[in-house]
A and B are shown apart, each in its own frame.
Chain A
C-alpha cells in the first residue's frame, strides 16, 4: 500500500506492506539509519522519532499510521549545517558514549524542553525514562538536556532583547 507523509521537512510517498514497522520503513525503505532498534518489546526507545513533534517509539507503529503526518528523525535535527541545542548539549556534556541510544535520547530531550523549557532534574529523569542507555549512567544525559534548555533560554532572552 501507499503511504504519504513528511519526514524532516520532505514529503515522501512509499509503497510498503501494511505490516511494516515504521522503524523498518525509515531504516530500510528510506535508508535513514540514525533511528535504531534495541529491543522487541517497546522498552528501549532506541527507535524514538518525533511524530508531529511528540516522541514515539517507531518500532511500535505500523507504516500506514504515518499517513498525512510529520516525522522528525535525528537526521532532521541539525538545520542549515548548525547543530540543534540538544546536539550541542550532548557533545558538550559527554552525553553519549556508544551513540546507539543517542538519537532517541536527543529527540526525547528536545521534545521535553520544548514542552517544559525549565525542567527540574526529576522531570528530566522521568521524561527520559522510556529510553534505555546502557553506557552513560544518565548523569551526563541529564546535564546535556539541562545544557540545551539553558541555551534555548539564553537564545530567547537574546531574541527578546
Chain B
C-alpha cells in the first residue's frame, strides 16, 4: 500500500511523528549525556576479566602450552586452554556456514591471531600481564596466504583435522545457465572482460566485540551481555554449541557502538567467557582490543573476480560470465544464508537486462582469519555490484561510449518489473533511468564532461565515475533464506497500555540506526499514537520476540513490516471496541490517524487513546481484554533498493594523489520513514565506501603476518579525507512491503566503491589504464601513470 499523500494526512503525520517526518531521535538523550550502555560498561559484582593469548604464527603445530608462570601471577584465577575445553567438548564449534572453527587451538594454529589460551584474572591489567607469560611451544609450518596458492597442487593442507579433507578447497557453487550463456557469447559481436580483486577489509565498528557472561551455578541461569546484531539467533546457537538449556539463556545486547556485520558471528571469546563463568562461578568479562578485533573477527570481501560481458551489434548486453575465487581464511565462517555458498553474489547482473548469465564460485581455505561477514552489505552483494559496475565501465571504454549511455542502453526498463533475472532473482520494482536522470542533473554532468575534455587537452587528469547499483536486501523469505536452519523472518510485539501509550518490542537490533525512533514512527503512522508515546525495546531475548536480527539491511524490510502489521491488527481490534462504544455495527466503523468514528458522523470520534482505555475497562462481551499483539513476518520476497552514484575526481600526475571533488548519491530506498535518519545512513555508507576504495586494507606478508592490525595501519577515513556528499532521491515503493520501504543501511557501501574507482579509471583510461585494485592509494596511481610513460 502506498502512503496517503494528501495535505491533511501530511499535517497529521507531522504532529504524530509519522512516516516521512525527520523526527529528532528519541534515543539521543542517553548518548548525549554519556549514559549509553555498552557491553564494556556492564559491571557485575565479583566480575573477572579475560584476555586471549593469540598465535603469533599463521600456521604452526602446537607442541605444548606452559601456563605455570601465568598462573603464578597474583590475581590470576585460571588459564583456559583448548585441552581443557576439549574435556567439555567445546574445543571446536560450528560456524554459520556449516563448517567448524577452533574455539581454542588444540592441534595447530591456522592464522595469526588465532585464539590459543585465555587468562582470567581479577583485573584486566593482571590478565594482560599474565597473558604475556603464557608460553606456547610452536613448530612453524608453511603458511598459505592466497587462495591461488591454496588450491595449487601440493599446497599444505590447512584443515588436516577434517575427515576427508585432502586439499584446501571449501566449496564449488554455480548459478545461472551455462548453456544459454555459452550461446550468447557465441553470437556476441564484442566481448569485454575484467579481472579484479576486491581486497580484504574489515567492518571495524568503533566499539570492538565483547561480552560479560554471568552463569549462576545455583539457578543455572545464563545471562550473557554481548555485542550481538542477532541476539535471538545467538541464544539458540549458544544452546546448541554449549549444550545449555535454552530457557535458561538470556542474551542481552545493550547499546552497540556500530556493527556493520562484525557482530553477527559467534566468536571464540564469547564461548570461552561463558564456559569460564560456568566453571568458576563468577561473571567473566571479555572485551577485545582493536588489534584483537582487526586480526581475528569477521573480515569482509577478499574476492578475486574475473568475467566477461557478451555484447551484440546494437551495444546490448546479451550474456555475462563471472568466475570468482574467495579467500575464506582458516575456517569457513561466512555469515550468510545456508543455501548460498557465495552469499547473494549471483545478483551480479545488477541493474542490467542480461538474458543469460553463468556464475562459478570457488572457495579456499588460507592461513588467514576467518569471517567473510558482510561489511555493511547484504551477503556479498557488494562484491557483485562492484564487479558489474566496473565491468560496465570497461565495456563503455571499449565501445567508445559515454558510460551513462552504456547504462541507459542496458538498464532493465521500468515497465519490465517485476523482472526475473538470469540468475533467478525476482526484482520487485525499479526505475533506474529516473535515478540516473536525477543524479546527472544534480551533478551538472554535461558541463563536467566539457571541463574534462578541456583539461584532458591540457594534459590534466580529471574523471567522472558512474555506478548504478541494485541491491537485494531484507532477507527472507524464510523458505529460501535461513541461517543455521533458522528461517529469516522477523517479529514485532506491540502493547498499548490503558493510558494509550505503548511499548514495541522487536526481534531486530539497532547498532546506531535509530530504531527507537523509526519504529515508533511506523506505529504512529498506523495507529495515530504519537511516536513520542511509543517506547521501543530490542536486544534482550527474555523481553522481545524471536527474530533473526539486524544485518543485510533487514530491519525495515522485515522488522518494519512486522511492526506495521501488528499495529494494523490492533487497529482492527480497536474497531470492535469502537463499535461497542458507539453501539454501532463494526462494518460501519471508520479509522483515520488515531480516530474512530461511525460512517456518516465524522465529528463524533473516539480516539485511539479512548479505545485503549476501553480495552482494559469497557469491553464488549466475549472480547479478550487488552490491546496487544505480536506478528512474525516472513517477507514474500527481498527488496531491491537501487540508485545512481556519480563521483568527480582530480588526479595529480606528479604524486598520483586522487582528490574526490564531488560525490552525488541518488538513492531509491522506497518510502523514507525518517528522512533525516535515512540520509545519515547514506552518509555513513558513502564514507565506508570511500574508505574501502581509497584507504582500508587488511593484507598479509608471505608468512601470513597480518598487516592492517591496528588503526595506524588499517586506515579509516577521518573528517579531513572524507568527501562532502550531495544526496538526492527517487521513491519507488516496494510493492510487497506494507509501507513500501526497502531498507537503506547498506546501499551506499554497496554502490559507492565502484563509483569512486570508475572515476579514477575514467581519468586514466585514455592512457590505457583499465584497472587499479582497491584501495586506490597514491603509489598505485603513480606507478600506473609511470608505467604508461606519464611523468611530471
Q: Which of B207, B289, B712, B716 has the most CB of A within 10 A?
A: B207
Alpha-carbon distance A100/B124, docked complex (angstroms): 21
A136 and B683 within 8 A (CB)? yes
The count of chain B contact residues (Cβ–Cβ below 8 Å) is 57
B716 and A132 within 8 A (CB)? yes
- With a CB–CB cut-off of 8 A, which chain A residues contact B677? 94
Task: Across the interface, name the chain A residue whose C-beta is closest to B712.
Answer: A41
* B256 CB–A CB distance under 8 Å: yes
B711 and A43 within 8 A (CB)? yes
- With a CB–CB cut-off of 8 A, which chain B residues contact A20? 125
**CB proximity to A under 8 Å, residues B224-266:** 255-258, 260
Q: Known: A38-B206, A43-B711, A125-B720. Is A100-B514 also a contact (CB below 8 A)?
A: no
A98 and B255 within 8 A (CB)? yes
Surface stretch bound by A, among B36-44, B133-141, B352-360, B771-779: B36-44
Q: Known: A134-B205, A137-B683. Is A97-B512 also a contact (CB below 8 A)?
A: yes
Alpha-carbon distance A135/B206, docked complex (angstroms): 9
Task: Across the interface, name the chain A residue whose C-beta is closest to B512.
Answer: A98
Shortest CB-to-CB span from A10 to chain B, Å, is: 15
Q: Known: A33-B41, A98-B205, A137-B686. Is A91-B28 also a contact (CB below 8 A)?
A: yes
Task: Across the interface, name the chain B residue whose C-beta is closest to A141.
Answer: B719
Q: Known: A39-B710, A39-B711. Is A126-B720 also a contact (CB below 8 A)?
A: yes
Shortest CB-to-CB span from A112 to chain B, Å, is: 11
Partner of A38, one of B27, B28, B290, B512: B290
- With a CB–CB cut-off of 8 A, which chain A residues contact B725? 137, 139
Alpha-carbon distance A91/B22, docked complex (angstroms): 12
Q: Known: A31-B43, A46-B206, A96-B28. Is A137-B711 also a contact (CB below 8 A)?
A: no
- With a CB–CB cut-off of 8 A, which chain B residues contact A83? 32
A91 and B32 within 8 A (CB)? yes
Task: Across the interface, name the chain B residue whose C-beta is closest to A84.
Answer: B32
- With a CB–CB cut-off of 8 A, which chain B residues contact A24? 124-125
Alpha-carbon distance A135/B687, docked complex (angstroms): 8
* A67 CB–B CB distance under 8 Å: no
Partner of A97, one of B33, B125, B514: B514
* A99 CB–B CB distance under 8 Å: yes
Contact with B along A38-78 (1 / 0, CB 8 A): 11110110100000000000000000000000000111011
**CB proximity to A under 8 Å, residues B63-106:** none
* B302 CB–A CB distance under 8 Å: no
Alpha-carbon distance A44/B687, docked complex (angstroms): 16
B716 and A134 within 8 A (CB)? yes
- With a CB–CB cut-off of 8 A, which chain A residues contact B34? 32-35, 73-75, 77, 103
Alpha-carbon distance A106/B32, docked complex (angstroms): 9
Partner of B680, one of A73, A91, A126, A136: A136
Q: Which of A37, A103, A135, A137 has the most CB of B within 10 A?
A: A137
B711 and A36 within 8 A (CB)? no
A34 and B36 within 8 A (CB)? yes
Q: Known: A34-B36, A92-B24, A132-B711. Is A97-B719 also a contact (CB below 8 A)?
A: no
Known contacts A100-B206, A128-B718; 8 additional CB pairs below 8 A are: A24-B125, A87-B33, A92-B24, A97-B684, A98-B205, A102-B36, A134-B716, A138-B683
Q: Closest 5 A-B residue pairs measured CB to CB?
A: A34-B34, A98-B512, A100-B257, A99-B31, A137-B683
User: What are 22 inter-chain pairs, A to B, with CB distance below 8 A?
Assistant: A20-B125, A27-B40, A34-B35, A39-B711, A41-B290, A90-B28, A96-B28, A96-B31, A98-B205, A98-B206, A98-B258, A99-B31, A106-B32, A128-B719, A129-B718, A132-B718, A134-B688, A135-B258, A135-B680, A137-B685, A139-B683, A139-B725
